Amino acid sequence: VIRCRAAVAWAMGKPLSLEEVEVAPPKAGEVRVKIVATGICHTDEHMLEGTLPGVDFPVIPGHEGAGIVESIGEGVTSVKPGDKVIPFSLPHCGECSFCLNPESNFCLKSHVSESQSLLPDKTSRFTCKGKQIHHFLWVSTFAEYTVVPEYAVAKIDARAPLDKVCLLGCGFSTGYGAATNTAKVKPGSTCAVFGLGGVGLSVVIGCKVAGASRIIGIDINKDKFAKAKEMGATECISPRDFKKPIQEVLTEMTGHGVDYSFEAIGHVDTMTAALASCNMNTGVCVMVGELPPDSVISIDPMLVLTGRTWKGTLLGGYRLRESIPALVSSYLEKKFNSDLLITHTLPIAKVNEGFELLRAGK
Between CA 197 and CA 219 the distance in angstroms is: 9
Which residue, 359, 360, 361, 358, is CA-closest to 39?
A: 358
**What's domain 183-312's architecture?**
3-Layer(aba) Sandwich (3.40)
Question: 96: exposed, middle or buried (C-beta count within 10 Å: 0-12, 13-18, 19+)?
Answer: middle
Q: Does domain 2-171+317-360 have CATH number 3.30.70.360?
A: no
* Sheet containing 214-218, strands listed edge to edge, beginning at the edge strand earlier in sequence: 235-237, 214-218, 190-194, 260-263, 284-287, 309-312
Write down the pLDDT at residue 293: 82
Write down the pLDDT at residue 334: 97
Consecutive H or E run containing 238: none
HSE-CB at 360 with a 13 A cutoff on CA atoms is 8
| Strand, coil or helix: 21 | strand
Print pLDDT tens along the chain (362 aa): 999 999 999 999 999 999 999 999 999 999 999 999 999 999 999 999 988 888 999 999 999 999 999 999 999 999 999 999 999 999 999 999 999 999 999 999 999 999 999 999 999 999 999 999 999 999 999 999 999 999 999 999 999 999 999 999 999 999 999 999 999 999 999 999 999 999 999 999 999 999 999 999 999 999 999 999 999 999 999 999 999 999 999 999 999 999 999 999 999 999 999 999 999 999 999 999 999 888 999 999 999 999 999 999 999 999 999 999 999 999 999 999 999 999 999 999 999 999 999 999 88
Between CA 357 and CA 302 the distance in angstroms is: 40
Write down the pLDDT at residue 265: 96
| Strand, coil or helix: 256 | coil
The secondary structure of the chain in percent helix, strand, coil, rounded to multiples of 5, reads 30, 20, 45
Which residue, 75, 109, 70, 73, is CA-closest to 93?
A: 109
Write down the pLDDT at residue 126: 98
Domain regions of the chain by residue span: 2-171+317-360, 183-312
Which residue, 144, 171, 198, 156, is CA-closest to 5?
A: 144
Q: Are strands 235-237 and 214-218 parallel, antiparallel or unpaired?
A: parallel
